[in-house]
Structure 1
Amino acid sequence: MKKNIAIIMGGYSSEYKISLKSGNVVFNTLNKDTYNVYCIYVFKNKWVYVDAVDTEFPIDKKDFSVIVNEAKITFDCVFNAIHGSPGEDGFMQSYFELIGIPQTSCNAYQAALTFNKRDCLSVLKPYGILTAESYYLNLGDTVIEDEIITKVGLPCFVKANKAGSSFGISKVYKKEELQAAIDNAFKEDDEIIIESFLDGIEVSVGVITYKGKTKVLPITEIVSENDFFDYEAKYLGKSQEITPARLSKTQEEKVITLAKKVYEILKMKGFTRSEFIFKNGEPHLLEINTVPGLTNESILPQQAAEAGITMAELFESAIEEALK
């Protein structure tokens, strides 16, 4: 008997449009002879199943079921394609754990931890994971610009702490630009992280659980046409994404070992994409994404293709791992 698979997409963050694209790629890729597949849109004002002609059917949040033509549909597994909150910060993971439905991304604690850049880096530092110098601010804190610059230097990056990697981020070259960058980051979150600029090769490393084993995918080198790997570079074609990355054998071995170590230290599962920059020959961790983009242009599917894994194999493996 075919399993009912719900693909959740949308979400509450600025990345909801990318999530809708990711979710629809998953829907169009999964074999309908193997699974009954349903697109579920999750927004603040509604959770709905959307059928082939865009008719909406409300989801019953008590058990994540839906009534269609007087028949109740329940789900065997949820494929999580929500970037940002509530799909990447632990909320949906907690909900599905409470009602007993398996889902494809990491567990709730891991999602919450990795979504909080400050907390995640703090947990990993005792394991010898190298990171940029950082300075933390909460909304309402006094901004002492000279203190920030003394700690992280210029140029520096100002980022929202709990948000996707594409919004609320600015590269600051001068002291005079710092306050505007801080204000911009606070539009996305009430906590921010200010980090030193690491000048080196930037790479993205996909680590997944595939057919029961931790697998590091071929590495992607990021060469942005913009000043850094921002929204335009990531989603509007303003970057070169070179897979496999142009690394020396030593660099490649170092970052593969480190990415796998981070995945296993944090007891991750499902898909992850970690970003690193090489400084003085050593990879420094920037962040970890636990619901990476799954569009045709996204990095993780590019890496899987380089590894000889089709999109269908990638997505079906995630479902089968969750169903275990």
Structure 2
Amino acid sequence: MKKNIAVVYGGDSSEYVVSVNSSKNVFQSIDPELFQPWAVEMKGADWKLVVDGEPVADINKQDFSVHYQNEHIRFDYAYITIHGTPGEDGILQGYFDLLKIPYSTCGVQSSALTFNKYYCSNYLRNFDLAMAKSVRLTKGDVIDEDVLVEELGLPVFVKPNAGGSSFGITKVKTKSDLKAAIEAAWKESNEALVEEFIEGLEITSGLVKLKNESFLFPVTEVIPKNEFFDFEAKYTKGATLEITPARISESLTETCQQLSSRIYDLCNCKGIVRIDYILKDGVFYFLEVNTTPGMTATSFIPQQIEAMGMQLKDIISKIIKDQVC
């Protein structure tokens, strides 16, 4: 009997559209000879089974099951492709833990930690990781531009403390633009980060660790045609040059992969994770941990898996079998 795999997508953040596209690629990459994939859309309290792009039945939230075509379907596993809340911040993970349903991502504690950029960075500072200085501002705080510029210099990046896909991020070059940038970040999150600008090469590194094997993917070099890797650069074809493997030395590549492996363990991660850096003068400056990274056909992780000589289907099968078979 094939296990029923729920590919969970949607969510309640600006990343909804990205999640939809990620879920389609994951759904197509689940081996139908081994598993029975189902698409489950979550948006607020509206949870639906989706077949051929159309909602066909309500999900029973009491046990994460559904009645469809006179059959009662119980899901054996959840492959979470929600970027942002509630799929990346630990909320959904807590629900599945209560129901004892295994899932593809980090657990509650790890998801909550890594989703909050400020908390994650300050936790990792204890382990001597290089990273930019930053200041956190909660919605409603008084914005003192002079103090921020004195502490962090210019330019700076202003970003939501909780969020992804570069929504609400601004590169600020002048003091007079700081307030508007912080207020834009507050629209995405109750907290904004004002972060020191480090000029260098953007590198992103994916990996997954299973019970009996680990995969440290080839790293990717990211060269946006825009000033930085904003939403347009991420999701507009041709707006960014993405080179996998990155054009850096084997030694630097291995350093990056081992650093990612260390961060993965320090944050108690599970499933596929992507970690972003700025490479400057041979040093990798940590940016953030992505615990439900984009999985569209053109996203970094599928690119890296392909460059490794494998298919996304192979990795996803290994992840699912690691917990349910």
Q: How many residues align?
A: 324
Structure 2 unaligned residues grouped into runs of 5+ = none
Name 2:310's counterpart in structure 1. 309
Alpha-carbon distance in 2 for matches of 1:169, 1:16: 17
Alpha-carbon distance in 2 for matches of 1:214, 1:62: 35
Taking a change above 3 Å as real, the CA distance of residues 29 and 311 of structure 1, as seen in their structure-2 partners, is same
Alpha-carbon distance in 1 for matches of 2:253, 2:269: 21
Contact in 1 for aligned 2:15/2:165 (Cα 8 Å): no
The one-letter amino acid of 1:320's match is K
Matches within 5 A, 1:220-299: 220-237=220-237, 238-299=239-300
> How far is the alpha carbon of 1:166 from its aligned partner?
1.5
Instruction: Summarize deviations over 1:200-222 as a string: whole Å, max 9, x none.
Output: 11100002125732321100000
Taking a change above 3 Å as real, the CA distance of residues 214 and 128 of structure 1, as seen in their structure-2 partners, is farther
> Secondary structure of 2:59's partner?
strand
> Secondary structure of 1:60's partner?
coil
Contact in 2 for aligned 1:254/1:282 (Cα 8 Å): no
Contact in 2 for aligned 1:8/1:40 (Cα 8 Å): yes
Alpha-carbon distance in 2 for matches of 1:190, 1:22: 26
> How far is the alpha carbon of 1:171 from its aligned partner?
0.2
Q: Percent identity?
A: 39
Name 1:17's counterpart in structure 2. 17
Name 2:49's counterpart in structure 1. 49
Contact in 2 for aligned 1:16/1:83 (Cα 8 Å): yes
Alpha-carbon distance in 2 for matches of 1:244, 1:40: 34
Name 2:31's counterpart in structure 1. 31
Instruction: Summarize deviations over 1:234-280 as a string: whole Å, max 9, x none.
Output: 11121011001011233223212211110111111101000000123
> How far is the alpha carbon of 1:53 from its aligned partner?
6.1
Alpha-carbon distance in 2 for matches of 1:37, 1:251: 39
> How far is the alpha carbon of 1:308 from its aligned partner?
1.2
> Secondary structure of 2:54's partner?
coil
The one-letter amino acid of 1:239's match is T
> How far is the alpha carbon of 1:150 from its aligned partner?
1.1
Name 1:203's counterpart in structure 2. 203
The one-letter amino acid of 2:233's match is A
Contact in 2 for aligned 1:104/1:321 (Cα 8 Å): no
Displaced runs of 4 or more, over 3 A? none
Name 1:319's counterpart in structure 2. 320
Name 1:164's counterpart in structure 2. 164
> How far is the alpha carbon of 1:114 from its aligned partner?
0.3
Name 2:124's counterpart in structure 1. 124
Structure 1 unaligned residues grouped into runs of 5+ = none
Alpha-carbon distance in 2 for matches of 1:104, 1:45: 22
> How far is the alpha carbon of 1:157 from its aligned partner?
0.2
Alpha-carbon distance in 2 for matches of 1:234, 1:58: 33
> Secondary structure of 1:296's partner?
coil
Q: TM-score, structure 2 length as denominator?
A: 0.97
Name 1:97's counterpart in structure 2. 97
Contact in 2 for aligned 1:211/1:317 (Cα 8 Å): no
Name 1:191's counterpart in structure 2. 191
Contact in 2 for aligned 1:47/1:58 (Cα 8 Å): yes
Alpha-carbon distance in 2 for matches of 1:113, 1:43: 23
Q: TM-score, structure 1 length as denominator?
A: 0.97
